[in-house]
Chain A
Amino acid sequence: MTITEKILAAHAGRDRVEPGELISVKVDMVLGNDITAPVAIDQFRKAGAKTVFDPEKIALVPDHFTPNKDIKSAEQCAKLREFAKEQSIRHYFEVGRMGIEHCLLPEQGLVRPGDVVIGADSHTCTYGALGAFATGVGSTDMAAAMILGEVWLKVPESMKFLYHGKLQRWVYGKDLILYTIGDIGVDGALYKAMEFCGESIENLSMDSRFTMANMAVEAGAKNGIVEPDKVTLEYVRGRVKGDYRVFRSDPDASYSAVYEYDAGKIEPQVAFPHLPDNVRPISEAGEVRIHQVVIGSCTNGRMEDLRAAAEVLRGRKVHSGVRLLVFPGTQQIYLEAMREGLLEIFVEAGGAVSTPTCGPCLGGHMGVLAEGERAIATTNRNFVGRMGHPKSEVYLSNAAVAAASAVTGRIASPEEL
């Protein structure tokens, strides 16, 4: 069995499961945010439920339209807050103590290797980087899981992605996953598990692994996953409470497809509008003038990203025609970046630094684009209208490329500076 099948079998109380089987599994954590949880709370009431199955296994994070962008958003957040209080849900994270959910939960030790996590947010797949099974669902699934403590799932077929070689300078997990999505397409892993392995992954930081698992959904996958190793166990030590189980794929596990990449040959990648699979290497990006740069999000709002951006921006200025917006992923990351002097570098360069929020990534607030404007962002989606006006454009890249582009005013490699 693969690691995904083993985790699902263990949570279904079974010795084994087969791809395609419909099973009911126990969940270790259920997540919702200020957009999806209000709908889930309505469904919870509609089902006639009075109490959640386990208040310790629910996390509510108001992160999308926070700090409250308007009255309606404020009311959605109030609904979350009141529900958390009513149900004694401790893992409710208020503005000032919060973060972007998928940066926050691992940081707070709320996801362990071997766990099953569902979240009413498509990027819940991020936690696969810890060797957990994590997948995005809708609000009704979230409601049902809050009541029953379980979720129905189809056991996915697994696809194996092997990366060999040493990464070039300025190449990160973001580039590996963009390259992969460019190769297999936005539905290339539809309904499947993407298992990332090979020596390039073994040498990859935890932050870059989160980035890769985060974007598995951009290839249509149900989950992305990395087997726990030294790097993983080092990360969870001191964070997670209680026992956890480390699962690994059997040598004879079966995969619907195996892809092998010479990762040493992969350059920084840029996804052009309007799909994440419209990927080109930076050397073929051409002359693309930009108006806004967004560094942050659940994909790339971690320390590795901020350090890379600061390295590029140190002693440099943001181009006069560009607005640079930096969003540390959590309050903890904000504090760490402040202590390392990174925030000072961003501000000195002429950039704006914000409290953690998903705001601009989905065109919600804090950096919405006008008609005809172009942004390069370290986020995960570049769909039509994603960051604002339907006639605006979003290009996706890693943080170093985004920072270099902020300096030059056009999409650029850090090597050019």
Chain B
Amino acid sequence: MTLAIKGKVWKFGDNVDTDVIIPARYLNTSDPIELAKHCMEDADPRFAAKVEKGDIIVGGRNFGCGSSREHAPIAIKAAGVSCVIAESFARIFFRNALNTGMPILESPEAARRIEAGDVVEVLVGEGLIRNLSRGEEYKAAPFPEFMQRIVDCGGLINYVRERIRNES
């Protein structure tokens, strides 16, 4: 499956934690629209108001470290962000993104070379990242087959639903 995404880049540093992505003070709801209003608030209070549909977040090392709150990828997705590219991801965030169908790509080269405001095109299935502003291309590590199957199902719940159907 080739999913092509194109958008303007918001760049963040290393160790972007889940408290910054969605502060716990807003976790008394899991409504995606409510969560999106406060996405990245403690790193950049203007983010939620200014981010446009399709924009891309680029982070450094250990993106999404901290809590297990699935509200983090939910908030990012509901804010309109189409994809997160990082040098590396914290493991729970990585699982949560995969399980909820939020496209993520791990590429140290892309994370270093891409600057804020660059326009980037991503072929998620191929793991190919094109920086249209700089005329560069970067490769992301492909998902192992099992993980790709979850992505192809559109997330873990669809995968489970299929299994329930097959077993009954």
Contact = CB atoms under 8 A, between A and B. Distances in A.
Contacts, number: 144
B164 A186 contact: no
Nearest to B87: A187
A43 interface: yes
Contact of B100 (A76, A137, A140, A152): A140
Interface string A145-177: 001100010000000000000000000000000
B28 A190 contact: no
Contacts of B61: 187
Interface residues of B, number: 44
Contacts of A364: 24-25, 27
A73 interface: yes
B92 interface: yes
A275 B15 contact: yes
A72 B23 CA distance: 16
B6 interface: no
A386 interface: yes
Interface residue SS majority, chain A: loop
Interface stretch (B119-127, B129-137, B154-162): B154-162
Contact of B90 (A72, A121, A187): A187
Contacts of A403: none
A17 interface: no
Given A72-B28, A191-B91, A136 B42 contact: no
A47 interface: yes
Nearest to B101: A140
B20 A385 contact: yes
Interface stretch (A34-42, A86-94, A314-322, A331-339): A34-42
A137 B156 contact: no
Given A36-B69, A190-B90, A381-B19, A363 B62 contact: no
A386 B24 CA distance: 8
Contacts of B65: 186-187, 220
Contacts of B28: 65, 69-70, 72-73, 76
B157 A35 contact: no
B48 interface: no
A141 B20 contact: no
A138 B92 contact: yes
Contacts of A22: 144, 146-147
Contact of B70 (A39, A49, A186, A381): A39
Contacts of A275: 15
Interface of B: 15, 17, 19-20, 23-25, 27-30, 41-43, 61-62, 65-71, 74, 88, 90-92, 95-96, 99-100, 144, 146-147, 155-157, 159-161, 163-165
Contact of A147 (B91, B144, B146, B160): B160
Interface string A365-381: 00010000000000001
A251 interface: no
Nearest to B164: A48
7 contacts: A140-B156, A144-B157, A217-B92, A220-B62, A362-B19, A364-B25, A384-B20
A385 B68 contact: no
A362 B161 contact: no
Nearest to A277: B15
A408 interface: no
A105 interface: no
A140 B96 contact: yes
Nearest to A44: B157
Contact of B30 (A39, A137, A362): A39
Interface string A216-227: 010010100000
Contacts of B164: 47-49, 147
A383 interface: yes
10 shortest A-B CB distances, which residue pairs?
A: A138-B96, A72-B28, A362-B24, A187-B62, A138-B70, A140-B99, A385-B42, A122-B68, A390-B42, A139-B70
